[in-house]
A and B are shown apart, each in its own frame.
Chain A
C-alpha cells in the first residue's frame, strides 16, 4: 500500500499526496532503513508526485464511468506507472537494464496495483459510511444523490 491516489482523491489535491508521502518516506528511511536516505528524492517523486498526480487526474478523467471503478483504476494506474518510472530511473542509474527492468517492475506492480486499488476503494467507502461529511463532493455519493 502506497496510498498516494487515496490521499490525492480524498483531499482533492495531488500535492496532498506529495506532502503525506514525503513525511512517510522520510520517517520510513530514517527510522526503519526502508527506502533509505539516498533514494529519498526518487521515492518522493515516484510514489508521491507521480502516484498523487496519476491518482488525482486518473480519477478526475474517469469518474464519469462511475466512482468506484474510477477510484479502482486510478489507484491501480498510480502504482503501475510509478513502478515503470522507477524502473526507468534505475536503468538511468545503471542499476537495472531498461527493457527487462521495466517489464519486471510493470508485471509485479500490475498485480500489486490491484491490491492497492482494492484497499483504496475500501478505505474511501469506509470513510463514506463512518464520516460522509469528510469526503469531498467529487467522491461523496450522499451529496450527489441529494442534488439528483
Chain B
C-alpha cells in the first residue's frame, strides 16, 4: 500500500473516531425519519426478532452513560474497517487471478 493511501485511510479513521467519540454527546435524541413517520401514523415498534450484543449503540445496562456509546461506536468503527479491508484484499486477489 502506498504511503499516501495509508495516510488517507488513517485520516478517514481519525475522522470516524472523532465522530464516534462526539456522537453520544452531540447526537439528537429525537427519532429518525422512519421512526418519526411511524410515530405520526401511530404504528408501534415490534419486538426484535434477534437480540444484538450492543442494542441502540450502547452497552446493555449502561444506556444512560454516554461513554458506553463511545466504546460501542469505536468498536463498530474498527470492525467495519477490518471487514472492508479484509474483503478488499480477498476481492483484489480474485480480480488479479481473473485477469491472468
Nearest neighbor of B49 in chain A, beta-carbon distance: A38
- Contacting pair A95 B43 (CB below 8 A): yes
Q: Does A128 contact B (CB under 8 A)?
A: no
Q: Determine whether the beta carbon of B11 is less than 8 Å from that of A32.
A: no
Q: Is the contact region of chain A dominated by helix, strand, or loop, or is it mixed? A: helix
Query: Which chain A residues border B72 with CB–CB below 8 Å?
Result: 32
Would A105 and B4 be within 8 Å (CB), given that A34-B56, A38-B49 are in contact? no
* Contact call B51/A31, Cβ cutoff below 8 A: no
User: Chain B contact residues: over half helix, strand or loop, or mixed?
Assistant: helix
Number of contacting residues on B, CB 8 A?
30
B13 proximal to A (CB < 8 A): no
Max chain A C-beta neighbours (<10 A), residue from B33, B38, B76: B33
Of the candidates B8, B37, B83, the one whose C-beta lies within 8 Å of that of A23 is B83
Q: Are A109 and B4 closer than 8 Å at their CB atoms?
A: no
Tell me the B residues contacting A by CB distance below 8 Å.
4, 8, 11, 32-34, 36-38, 40-41, 43, 48-57, 72, 75-76, 79-80, 83-84, 87
